[in-house]
Structure 1
Amino acid sequence: MKRREKKKSPNETKRTYLRVGDRVYHKKFKSWGGGVVLETWSSNLPGGLCYVRILFQDGKQRVFDNSFDSACCCYYTGITLLNRIEL
């Protein structure tokens, strides 16, 4: 018997990892230092991407995939949440 996969409706929200204000670090690049999430944005199109912009202590801003549904999500590539600050 085949298992039916649930189709996502266009109005369903994306499952994201990080939010603005979160403090993070990268497991593989400790030399970057800690970081803070400056911005998040998501596509409204079905299957669209979600991104997050993080400012690290080395002074550089870096952009990562922020969707848990993606194999390239920053969670799976080494970004670790230190603490969440509610704004």
Structure 2
Amino acid sequence: MNDLSNTQYFKVTQDQQIKVAEVMELVYAALKEKGYNPVNQIVGYIMSGDPTYITSHNNARSLIMKVERDELIEEALRYYIDNKLEGKRS
């Protein structure tokens, strides 16, 4: 029997955090598979916040909505700087 004089702890496990880069890759692939221009569709989503720019194919719409739009911009900008700008300095 439990000791009722002590505080009981309950820990809620959160969904596994998916990385923004993984979301971008999966959403890109789903849009490409459906014949959309992934860049145009992702930009449309980022600018408007309207999830209908993203296909529901392969759960892409649900995935992209799990990350903040500013995180998507951050990831794209970080990738560009790391691979295009910093790479030129070498």
TM over 0.5: same fold? no
Larger relative contact order (C-alpha < 8 A, sep ≥ 6)?
1
**TM-score normalised according to structure 2 size:** 0.25
More strand by share: 1
- Structure index of larger Rg: 2
More helix by share: 2
